[in-house]
Chain A
Amino acid sequence: AQKVTQAQTEISVVEKEDVTLDCVYETRDTTYYLFWYKQPPSGELVFLIRRNSFDEQNEISGRYSWNFQKSTSSFNFTITASQVVDSAVYFCALNTGGFKTIFGAGTRLFVKA
């Protein structure tokens, strides 16, 4: 069975702190795709990143970075120097080759000024 676990329900940080959002996935498939989405208070889903199972290179995009480790089935997301605008719910998601994308429960991030 496929599953995505985001153990952190809520995280609260002060602006400029770094924060890491954890994501652990389960699948028996050897080919799969991992995603992160941001859901700001306005409610829409904003795509952040996609990573396939054959590419374990970490990625950095501005203040965002992602650490993919197959050995621990984790795909963690770090925001460096957090800002108030980063306050949102962040979802990790998994697709194992079909049309269905499986989302984790989400981590609500509060960034206080």
Chain B
Amino acid sequence: EPEVTQTPSHQVTQMGQEVILRCVPISNHLYFYWYRQILGQKVEFLVSFYNNEISEKSEIFDDQFSVERPDGSNFTLKIRSTKLEDSAMYFCASSYSGRPDNEQFFGPGTRLTVL
């Protein structure tokens, strides 16, 4: 069964450094998403991406964040100048359609630890 994959599973970085989190969505999916879950808290929407541009973003997704689909398979989240409060689990998701009743398939997550 096709699945969303994410690398690395755990990333440790120093405050102020830049990190890139990588995702490989399901191959025929067209819509891509990033969500964040601070430890023990709710899952929060960050951004959605379609046709090489951002389709929607939350208040959390400020200039510190950017997304990119650098090739036909990867979907990346870049966090510049990381802060302690960026420590969280980051989930990538993809869906075939952008309709809200279309299931978003989630990856296993990348745990980011900022020291």
Contact = CB atoms under 8 A, between A and B. Distances in A.
Interface stretch (A11-19, A61-69, A75-83, A95-103): A95-103
Interface in A20-56: 32-33, 37, 42-47, 50, 52
Interface residues of B, number: 25
Interface residues on A, range: 20 to 34
B21 interface: no
Contact of B106 (A32, A44, A102): A44
Contacts, number: 59
The prevalent SS among residues of A at the interface is loop
B105 A99 contact: no
B40 to A, nearest CB: 9
Interface stretch (B11-19, B42-50, B65-73, B78-86): B42-50
A43 B107 CA distance: 10
A50 B48 contact: no
Given A43-B89, A99-B48, A91 B42 contact: yes
B109 interface: yes
A104 B45 CA distance: 12
A41 to B, nearest CB: 13
B55 A52 contact: no
Given A99-B33, A99-B48, A102-B45, A47 B105 contact: yes
B91 A45 contact: yes
